[in-house]
Each structure stands twice: as structure tokens, then as C-alpha cells.
Amino acid sequence: MNESRIPLSLLDYPRPSVAVDTAALTVAGGELMVLLVRRREEHHLGEWALPGTFLRERETLAAAVLRSLRDKAGIEGRVPQQLHVFDDPGRDDRGWTLSVAHVDAVPFRELETPLQSDDVRLASVAAETGLIAALPYGHADMVLLAVERMRQDYAQTPDPAGLLPEPFTLKELRDLHEAVAGRTLMRDTFRRQMEPQLVGTGQMSDGTRGRPSRLWRHVN
């Protein structure tokens, strides 16, 4: 005869802390950038990190992400997407913590006000690798994965995150793609790939930066 099993309470299971962290990416000055905030908490006080927070009781992950972006970076009105769960037991030297990382591609124009704070800055993904590698809590791995996701999103599509204000020239669009990709793109190949996904406005650029060029917008 089988012995009856005694139901276990949820309190009988080990419970890690749960955090959310967000890699907010943008393009500024022709470079792919990630937004960092200066830590105000005692642990790693004053160091740069991704905006993040611990999940509160009965709080959803999405709500925690929006709270952390608002409180840590002054960013509102965004809808970050889940990226990956980082569950290495040693990733946080405070204890066992799972982090549900998120990613968001944010137009630079939406970051101009937050960046007025001394506690918010952008770091170049290509030029400031040392700073990014030194980020606490495994945030460097999150940045690398977020960059990979963004590059996949931009591989075949003109501007899925709307980083470039409309209307734009094909050169401006190619400059954006080169910043995201981190490499030079062939002009004619890029044009053949992107033009079918765009609509011409029938207008020309004013020529203040080079000769006048056709202006485009996204297909609605």
C-alpha cells in the first residue's frame, strides 16, 4: 500500500528573489547606445547599471519594468519586450536572484529630458566595451543579447522601432542601419532591400547636408 503524500506548502520550496532589468537602446551620433543609470542603492552605490528593480508583492513584471524606468531613468510611455531570464545563481552577489531582462529601442528624442540628469547617461556599445563589461549583476550579458535582438529586428525591416523621424532619405536610413549593425552596408543592396517597404513622399530633401535626395516614409 502506497503511503499518502503530504502536500507541501509553497513556503517549503526555495524562493529566489525576482528582478527586472531593461536594456534601453538608441542611436545617437551615429552610434548604437545603451542607457545606464547611476545606482542610488547602497550596494554598488554610484556605479553604472541598467535600470532595474525587484518585483514587489502581487506586482506584474510589466509593471515593475515601467516603475523602474520611471523611477530610475525618468522614462515613461514605453512598452519594453521580455528578452530572457537570467538565472545563474551567482549572477548577483547579494543572493539568489532571477532577472527577467527586457529590451526596448527608444528614439533619442525621447531620451533628451532624462539625459539632463547626472544620474543617467548613454554608453556606446562599440566604443565603451570596458564600461559595459564592468556592469554589475550580469548586465553586460543582457546588453549583448539586447543588441543581438535589435540587430535581428533591423536586418530586414526599415525602422521597426521608429528611431528615425519621418520623412527621411535613404542615406539617413542606411546610416541608422549601419549604426545598429555596427558595420558598413552596401548602398545598392540596401536600397533594393528597403525601397519596396517604403513609400515616396514626392518631395526632396533641402540639400543642406549633401545634394537633395528623395524623401520616404514607412508603409502604413
**pLDDT (tens digit per residue) in 138-158:** 999 999 999 999 999 999 999
The pLDDT, as a whole number, for residue 22 is 98
> Hey, which residues does 25 pair with through a beta bridge?
34, 105
Cα dihedral sign for 164, 116, 73, 123?
A: positive
pTM over 0.75: yes
220 band by pLDDT with thresholds 50, 70 and 90: confident
pLDDT-based confidence at 172, cuts 50/70/90? very high
Nearest 10 degrees: Cα torsion 94, 37, 63, 58: 20
Q: What is the pLDDT of residues 19-58, one digit of tens each?
A: 999 999 999 999 999 999 999 887 888 899 999 999 999 9
pLDDT at residue number 14: 79
The residues, ordered by sequence, that sit 6+ positions from 171 with a Cβ below 8 Å of its Cβ are 210, 213
Give the pLDDT score at 1. Answer: 47
Where do runs of H (alpha helix) occur along the chain? Answer: 61-68, 129-133, 139-154, 170-181, 187-194
Whether the predicted pLDDT of 4 surpasses 70: no
Average pLDDT, the chain: 92
- Whether the predicted pLDDT of 208 surpasses 80: no
Q: What pLDDT band is residue 207 in, cutting at 50, 70 and 90? A: low
Mean pLDDT of 162-175: 96
**Nearest residue to 78 via CA among 26, 37, 39, 141:** 26
DSSP per position, 135-178: -STTHHHHHHHHHHHHHHHHSSSS-TT--SPSSB-HHHHHHHHH
